[in-house]
Each structure stands twice: as C-alpha cells, then as structure tokens.
Amino acid sequence: MKAMNYRGPFRVRVEEKPMPKILHPEDAIVQVTRACICGSDLHLYHGMVPDTRIGSTFGHEFIGVVREVGTGVTKVKVGDKVLVPFNIACGRCNFCKQGLFANCHESNAMATAVGGIFGYSHIAGGFDGGQAEFVRVPYADVGPTIIPSDMDDEDALLLTDVLPTGYQAAEMGGIKVGDTVVVFGAGPVGIMAARCAWLFGATRVIVIDHLEYRLEFVRQYAACEAYNFRSMDDPVLFIKRITDWLGADVCIDAVGSDACGNAMQTITGKKLLLQAGAATALHWAINAVKKGGIVSVVGVYGPTDNLVPIGNVVNKGITIRANQTSVKRLLPKLMDHVRKGVLSPKDIITHRFALEDIAEAYQMFSAKLDECIKPVLIPST
C-alpha cells in the first residue's frame, strides 16, 4: 500500500509499505478515504517531537471503511464507514473509565502521560497513522464510530480531532455567561475554540494571530473580534486596554510550540520570551488573563518549552488547565451539534490533495501558503 513516510525534519514523501495486519483480536484494518494534516503533525514535521522515527507514517485525523476485524471486535463490522478518534484508548483502564481517553494507561507502552495516538512518534506509542491507504486500528470497539448516513464525510473527518479539541479548549476554560474569552491562534483549533466559546455563554470572543487571511476567516466563521499581533506594540497591553484593564476572564492557547518563530520576527526587545519554541502564546495568555482567571492550553508543547512564568501564575491566582482531547467523551454531543447544523466544521477545509502530493501539502500548511487553513488528503475513494 501507499503511505506517507517521514524522512527527517521538513522531508516527507509517499512510499510503498507492507499492508497493516491484525496483530490483536481487538484490532481492525481501516481503508482510509480522507485524512487531514493537523497543526500537531507540524511539530513532528518540524522535528520538535523526540523519537520521531524515520520511516514512520503520520496521520491521526482520518475516516474510512472497515476492511477486516479481529475475532474480538463486536461493535464494528467489515464495510462500516467510521470516523476514528485520534486517541488510541483501551476503554477499561482507570483513566478511560473517567472519560480521560487521551490519557489511556494501556495504549502506550511508555504510559508516562499521553496515551497512544495514531502516527505521533514513539512517545505516543509508535503507532503508524492514517496518512496512508490502510491503517491498523487497535481497540476497535472503543474508538471507531459509525458515521451516520445523514452526516457529510468531511464533517465526520473534523470530528476526529479539531472540533472536539476546540470544544474542549472552551470547556476547560470554564467559560461562564458574560465572560470575555481571548483565543490565541486562528488555526483550525483556534477557529473551533472561538466558535465553541459562544456555546458556553461568552459575551465577547477575541482571537489573536498574525495571518490576516485567518483573522478574516475567523471573524466571519465565529462572529468574533480578531486582531493581528504584528500591529501591536505589546499584545498583553492591548488585551488589557480593551478589557477595562482587567484582562480576559479566560485565555485559550491554541498555538503551542512555535517552531517557525512567527512572533519573534516582529517584536524586538523581548527576544527571551519570543524566540522560536519559547511558548510565546502561553506567556501572553498567562499575562493577559485577569486575576483569578483560567488559562486553557490545548496547544501542544515539546519538552524544551518549559518557560512558564510561574510567578505570575501564583501572584494572579490563575488556574491553568491543559490536556490532549478525549475525543470519544465529546462525540455524542458534538455529533448532535453537527447533525443539527449548530456547528459546521467542514467549512474550514481549504485544500484537498491526492496522497502522492503529500510533500506539497505539508509545505503549504507549514508555511501557511495559498491561504491554507485545513488541508485534507484523499488516500482512496
């Protein structure tokens, strides 16, 4: 079969790989019909995630058709069209039982923090991902969810990660009626977080980024205010100024590691905080939230991004909440929202590529070329 193949930082291509096999009675093999590239894949692509091995296949956002099931699988059968949450979760450990599917204790042999994730290096279990024609799906009775016949495939695709992640970002923020919410990052995740913030009762939603085309998109899509940090002397001061000097009730970090140093190029004199990989958005979030406020972090950070300004966290009495998203926990509610038209995630898809064009797709999404918001790969039809 054809599969995406990682060759080192900024180098990916498609190669022939052996067909995945059922290795355990609870496995299924899924033929992938659509797979996204995620901002999280960019951390791998940029070489920021330890133990990302040459030859591995990325891809944790995918849908497809079940082609084979192990003898222990009872909830899905050959021919079912399924969406597959990005978390690989056993469904029965201490954490899964609490709904913390992202922190499953069994699916990742390292069992340190994160559970298994498709196509996300050996720190997330070393599983191959879905940017391929076929993928092995462990614990097939837990994650894979049948796509209802009245749901668009591409809406289903965005239910595997970015919509639940945006929703969980808003949920972790503990947004209350009347709150002002600031979202850092107008990528797919930040766009979804801004849209979902209204569902929790926010009365003001503000998005910060530096890409004008994304700011314009989020203004329309999420009916929010959106500002360019390159046009500000100091983003924290700017937020204080427009919130009666109180700061935001909730700040959401939907950026994570900034390998390309986007913020660094513009603002001088603060290089320590703004250099690439130095958690710029997280600093801004902590400093721009009001005293007693909540900072919700869904942006993904590597082990070198450890510069949290703990003094401000203590002195302002801030709560920081963070996690990978437990997609399965949120699926019933979000599938309902999508079917009722409350949320329409597929609207953020801007580009579609054949799997063979993977290098171009990664390059475009990484460099934010051609007004790219969310690229989708079509491995098979």
Among 229, 238, 353, 362, binds ligand NAD (CB under 6 A): 229
Site string for ligand NAD, 269-308 (x = CB under 6 A): -----------xx----------------xxx--------
Contacted entry of ligand NAD, Zn ion, none for residue 256, CB cut-off 5 to 8 Å set by kind: ligand NAD
The answer to whether residue 42 forms part of the interface with ligand NAD (CB under 6 A) is: yes
- As measured in angstroms, the least distance from the Cβ of 265 to ligand NAD is 11
Three-class secondary structure of residue 65 per DSSP: strand
How far is the C-alpha of 250 from the C-alpha of 151, rounded, in Å? 32
Among 27, 128, 161, 258, binds Zn ion (CB under 5 A): 161
The tokens describing 307, both together, are: 């510069």
| Residue number, 27 or 61, with CB nearest to Zn ion | 61
How far is the C-alpha of 255 from the C-alpha of 52, rounded, in Å? 21
| Size of site (CB under 5 A) for Zn ion | 4
- As measured in angstroms, the least distance from the Cβ of 78 to ligand NAD is 30
Three-class secondary structure of residue 30 per DSSP: strand
**Which helix H or strand E contains 353, and what residues bound it?**
strand 349-354
Contacted entry of Zn ion, ligand NAD, none for residue 106, CB cut-off 5 to 8 Å set by kind: none
Contact 93, 106 (CB under 8 A): yes
- As measured in angstroms, the least distance from the Cβ of 108 to ligand NAD is 15
The answer to whether residue 211 forms part of the interface with ligand NAD (CB under 6 A) is: yes
Contact range with Zn ion by CB under 5 A, out of 48-56, 76-84, 122-130, 156-164: 156-164
The tokens describing 37, both together, are: 């590239």
Contacted entry of Zn ion, ligand NAD, none for residue 300, CB cut-off 5 to 8 Å set by kind: ligand NAD
| Size of site (CB under 6 A) for ligand NAD | 33
| Residue number, 80 or 154, with CB nearest to ligand NAD | 154
Q: How far is CA 308 from CA 154, 194, 222, in A?
A: 37, 24, 29
CA nearest 61: which of 4, 8, 123? 4
Among 3, 30, 35, 38, binds Zn ion (CB under 5 A): 38
| Residue number, 132 or 285, with CB nearest to ligand NAD | 285
| Residue number, 184 or 362, with CB nearest to ligand NAD | 184
Contacted entry of Zn ion, ligand NAD, none for residue 80, CB cut-off 5 to 8 Å set by kind: none
The answer to whether residue 39 forms part of the interface with ligand NAD (CB under 6 A) is: yes
Strands 62-69 and 28-36: antiparallel
Strands 225-228 and 204-209: parallel
The answer to whether residue 190 forms part of the interface with ligand NAD (CB under 6 A) is: yes
Contact 286, 311 (CB under 8 A): no
Provide CB contacts within 8 A for 323, sequence distance 6+: 100, 102, 103, 168, 172, 298
The answer to whether residue 114 forms part of the interface with Zn ion (CB under 5 A) is: no
The answer to whether residue 43 forms part of the interface with Zn ion (CB under 5 A) is: no
| Residue number, 29 or 84, with CB nearest to ligand NAD | 84
The tokens describing 138, both together, are: 């462990």
Q: Quickly tell me which residue has 């994160």 as its tokens.
A: 114
Contact 227, 238 (CB under 8 A): yes
The answer to whether residue 161 forms part of the interface with ligand NAD (CB under 6 A) is: yes
Strands 11-16 and 2-8: antiparallel
Sign for the pseudo-dihedral over CA of 124, 125, 130, 131: positive
Among 49, 123, 254, 355, binds ligand NAD (CB under 6 A): 254
Question: CA-CA-CA-CA torsion for 44, 47, 49, 52, nearest 10 degrees?
Answer: 80
Q: Which residues bind ligand NAD (CB under 6 A)?
A: 38-40, 42-43, 161, 165, 184-190, 208-211, 214, 229, 254-256, 258, 262-263, 280-281, 298-300, 324-325
Binding site for Zn ion (CB under 5 A): 38, 40, 61, 161
